[in-house]
């Protein structure tokens, strides 16, 4: 590399790297430091307590309940969302076959694309309020109204420990599916139709075509989507804070509590910013470990066509 080129690259990258260090790296480093103090978030004094906050995590029952709920979400949300997203994308993009022309999209594919994606443009607050009304414990709620049609008594969806968390997970899946339908449709559109035609001529069934052709060719997209969904499942603060019982407390009886909401309540309700930051650092490390493990486990040889 010539000296002039090297100088140009260094000059061009200097400002972006500086901004990245100031706006991204520096807050992370400050967070690590705050997690080693007993700061209350208001006083300028920060007493250094070392690893005491992390030791407290080991005895914090709510922390472990929240962690377990996040682990459940990391399994349920990616699996359900990817399965539904792949199914709907496949049905829309290659849902029918012609005698000539191979696999084609279903009629009204553009409408379906917009309909599935529409929930993704709504804010979490709007969706939380909307589904809080859908899950209204009286017979006037949409969910209980449908149950009433078949003679089932109303269910207190968000007020019962057995149904509260599954109900919120269902909302997150509903919210997420549309984006991945569009994403997978875009990936499928890059697959040459000749490959589908050849598979049909060889007598492959729809499932075999999906399993042996479509899925391997869009695997890179599916892999990234799975990691992103897992990271999203480790957050969940906004939807839990809006929908959980008792004004975002993670209730009833911590049945919907997650790490993000536990962090928020610890910081802004209990004024324990040092301990809340330790929860945040634990969540960060958990997210990094999940992303690394997911990429390692789902790694496949790249298929080119």
- Of 114, 77, 122, nearest to 92 by C-alpha is 114
Q: Considering the entire predicted model, what is its pTM?
A: 0.86
Q: How is residue 161 annotated by DSSP?
A: T
Q: Kindly state the tokens that stand for 76.
A: 């349920």
Assess contact for 175 and 157: CB atoms under 8 A: no
Strand pairing category for 102-104 and 96-98 = antiparallel
Q: Which helix (H) or strand (E) holds 251?
A: none
Q: What pLDDT shows up at residue 199?
A: 79
Q: Which residues pair with 245 in a beta bridge?
A: 251
> How far is Cα 167 from Cα 235, in angstroms, rounded to an integer?
17
Tell the burial category of 90 from Cβ atoms under 10 Å away from its Cβ (0-12, 13-18, 19+): buried
Residue spans of alpha helices (H) in the chain: 3-20, 26-34, 52-58, 61-94, 109-117, 124-134, 142-149, 164-189, 193-201, 206-209, 215-217, 219-233, 237-243, 245-248, 259-268, 273-297
> How far is Cα 81 from Cα 293, in angstroms, rounded to an integer?
19
The conformational region for residue 225 under phi > 0 = left, psi -120 to 50 = alpha, else beta, is alpha
Q: Which residues contact 109 (CB under 8 A, 6 or more apart)?
A: 92, 93
Q: How many CA atoms lie within 13 A of 218 on its CB side?
A: 27
- Of 16, 53, 65, 39, nearest to 253 by C-alpha is 65
The answer as to CATH 1.10.3720.10 being correct for domain 55-297 is yes
Q: How many CA atoms lie within 13 A of 272 on its CB side?
A: 14
Q: How far is CA 290 from CA 225, 275, 285, 296, in A?
A: 13, 23, 9, 10
Sign of CA dihedral 179, 182, 188, 190: negative
Q: Kindly state the tokens that stand for 123.
A: 């804010």
Q: What pLDDT shows up at residue 160?
A: 87
Please list the rounded mean pLDDT of every run of 10 residues in the chain (305 residues). 66 84 88 89 84 91 93 93 91 63 62 80 87 87 87 87 91 91 86 80 80 86 90 88 80 88 90 91 91 84 64
Q: How far is CA 189 from CA 82, 93, 192, 209, 292, in A?
A: 18, 7, 8, 15, 29
Q: What pLDDT shows up at residue 2?
A: 58
> How far is Cα 95 from Cα 184, in angstroms, rounded to an integer?
14
């Amino acid at each position: 590399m010539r000296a002039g080129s090297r100088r140009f690259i260094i000059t061009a990258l200097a400002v972006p790297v500086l901004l990245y260090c100031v706006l991204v790296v520096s807050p992370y480093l400050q967070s690590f430091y705050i997690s080693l103090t007993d700061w209350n978030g208001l006083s300028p004094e920060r007493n250094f307590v070392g690893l005491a906050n992390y030791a407290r995590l080991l005895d914090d029952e709510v922390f472990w309940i929240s962690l377990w709920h996040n682990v459940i979400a990391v399994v349920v949300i990616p699996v359900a969302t990817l399965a539904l997203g792949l199914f709907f994308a496949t049905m829309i993009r290659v849902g029918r076959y012609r005698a000539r022309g191979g696999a084609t999209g279903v009629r009204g594919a553009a409408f379906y694309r917009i309909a599935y994606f529409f929930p993704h443009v709504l804010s979490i607050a709007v969706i939380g309020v909307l589904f809080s009304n859908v899950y209204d414990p009286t017979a006037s709620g949409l969910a209980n109204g449908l149950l009433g049609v078949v003679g089932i008594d109303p269910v207190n969806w968000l007020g019962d420990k057995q149904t509260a968390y599954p109900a919120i997970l269902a909302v997150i899946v509903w919210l997420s599916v549309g984006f991945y339908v569009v994403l997978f449709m875009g990936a499928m559109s890059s697959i040459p139709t000749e490959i589908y035609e050849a598979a049909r001529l060889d007598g492959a069934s729809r499932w075999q075509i999906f399993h042996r052709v479509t899925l391997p060719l869009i695997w890179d997209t599916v892999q990234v989507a799975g990691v992103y969904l897992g990271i999203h499942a480790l957050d969940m603060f906004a939807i839990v804070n809006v929908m959980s019982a008792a004004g975002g407390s993670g209730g009833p009886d911590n049945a919907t509590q997650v790490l993000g909401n536990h962090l928020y309540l610890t910081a802004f309700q209990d004024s324990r910013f040092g301990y809340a930051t330790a929860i945040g650092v634990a969540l960060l490390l958990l997210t990094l470990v999940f992303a690394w493990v997911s990429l390692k486990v789902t790694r496949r040889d790249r298929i080119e066509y």
